[in-house]
C-alpha cells in the first residue's frame, strides 16, 4: 500500500495511476501491476505470488505511471515469499502388509505448490500405534526431493500402524503429514503345543479327543483342520475343522465313530490356514485303536 500526495497543492491524488513491481529472484523486477489511488489517496496491491517468484526474500517498490504527474518511485522494500510443502508417500503403499521381522521403508517425494522438488528439507519420520511411537532415525536424502528411512519390525506389535512425516525448511511452512493405517504388521499362524490325542490307546468304540493350541498374533481368523489316516495309507481324511482368532487358542476335535476295520496304528496331524494364505502344520503323531473292552 502506498499513499500518493500532490505536493504542489497539498492534497492527496485521487484516481492517480500507480504501478507496483516485485522481484522474481531478489534482483529482477517483474513487469509490474497497475492500480489507481482511491479517494483517500491510497493504492493497494494484493500480491499473491505465482510460481514465477522464487521462495525467499524479495524486493518490491511502487511508483507513479501517470502522465499528469512526474515519475517517482518509492525506495525498495522487503517482502518474503513463503511456500507450502506437498508430501507424497511412495512407500509403503496404503495398508501394505508386512510380515513381522521384515523391514519397512518409508519413502516420500517432497515438493512445493509448483511441483518443484524440495531437496534440502529436514525430515523426521515417526510410526505410531495408539500410544506407542517410534522414530525412524536414519533419514536419507535422495536426489530430486525424495527422502527415505528403513526400520525393522521384529519388535513391533501386530496390526495397523500410522506414519507421520514432519518437514521443515527456511521459507517454508512446517508441515506434519499423517498417513493413517500406513502399513499392517502380519504374523503367520503357529502351533503353541504339540498335538495330543486322548486316549492314545483305546478301543475302536471309544471317543477320541484331539487337541492343540494355536496362535496368530495379528488376530486373523485361522481355520484349523485335523487330518487322520491309517499308518502307511496314502490318503489323509479330514476329521473336522475349527475357526479361532487370537493367541494360544485351544482347538478340540472329537471322533467317536471308528469301526472294527480301523483297528491298528493310525496317524494324525493339524493344519492351520489364516485369511492371508499363511499355512502351518504340526508334526505327524500316532495313536492306536485296539479291540473294544467288554464285560460279561
Who's near 286: CB < 8 A, 6+ residues apart? 231, 265, 266, 267, 268
Would you put residue 215 in left (φ > 0), alpha (ψ -120 to 50) or beta? beta
pLDDT at 251: 98
pLDDT at 131: 87
What radius of gyration do the chain's Cα atoms show?
Answer: 38
pLDDT at 184: 97
| φ, ψ for residue 254, nearest 5 deg | -115, 155
Residues listed for the chain = 296
pLDDT at 270: 98
CA distances from 250 to 67, 89, 191 (A): 95, 42, 10
Q: Give the CA count within 13 Å in the CB-facing half-sphere of 56.
A: 8
Whether this prediction's pTM lies above 0.85 is answered by: no
Give the tens place of pLDDT for each residue, 67-100. Answer: 999 999 999 999 999 999 999 999 999 999 999 9
Helix, coil or strand: residue 260: helix
Which parts of the chain sit beneath pLDDT 50?
Answer: none
| φ, ψ for residue 260, nearest 5 deg | -55, -40
Amino acid at each position: 500500500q502506498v499513499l500518493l500526495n500532490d505536493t504542489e497543492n497539498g492534497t492527496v491524488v485521487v484516481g492517480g495511476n500507480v504501478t507496483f513491481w516485485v522481484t522474481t529472484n531478489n534482483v529482477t523486477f517483474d513487469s509490474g501491476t497497475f492500480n489507481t489511488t482511491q479517494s483517500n489517496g491510497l493504492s493497494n496491491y494484493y500480491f499473491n505470488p505465482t510460481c514465477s517468484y522464487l521462495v525467499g526474500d524479495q524486493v518490491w517498490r511502487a511508483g507513479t505511471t501517470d502522465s499528469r504527474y512526474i515519475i517517482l518511485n518509492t525506495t525498495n522494500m522487503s517482502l518474503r515469499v513463503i511456500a507450502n510443502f506437498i508430501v507424497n508417500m511412495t512407500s509403503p503403499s496404503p495398508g501394505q502388509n508386512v510380515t513381522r521381522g521384515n523391514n519397512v521403508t518409508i519413502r516420500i517425494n517432497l515438493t512445493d505448490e509448483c511441483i518443484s522438488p524440495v531437496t534440502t528439507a529436514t525430515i523426521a519420520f515417526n510410526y505410531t500405534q495408539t500410544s506407542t511411537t517410534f522414530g525412524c532415525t536414519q533419514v536419507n536424502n535422495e536426489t530430486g526431493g525424495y527422502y527415505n528411512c528403513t526400520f525393522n519390525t521384529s519388535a513391533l506389535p501386530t496390526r495397523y500402524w500410522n506414519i507421520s512425516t514432519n518437514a521443515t525448511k527456511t521459507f517454508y511452512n512446517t508441515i506434519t503429514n499423517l498417513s493413517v493405517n500406513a502399513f499392517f504388521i502380519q504374523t503367520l499362524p503357529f502351533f503353541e503345543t504339540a498335538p495330543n490325542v486322548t486316549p492314545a490307546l483305546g478301543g475302536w468304540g471309544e471317543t477320541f479327543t484331539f487337541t492343540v493350541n494355536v496362535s496368530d498374533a495379528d488376530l486373523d481368523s485361522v481355520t484349523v483342520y485335523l487330518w487322520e489316516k491309517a499308518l502307511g495309507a496314502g490318503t489323509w481324511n479330514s476329521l473336522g475343522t475349527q475357526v479361532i482368532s487370537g493367541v494360544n487358542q485351544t482347538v478340540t476335535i472329537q471322533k467317536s465313530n471308528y469301526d472294527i476295520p480301523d483297528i491298528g496304528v493310525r496317524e494324525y496331524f493339524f493344519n492351520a490356514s489364516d485369511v492371508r494364505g499363511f499355512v502351518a502344520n504340526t508334526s505327524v503323531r500316532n495313536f492306536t485303536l485296539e479291540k473294544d473292552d467288554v464285560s460279561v
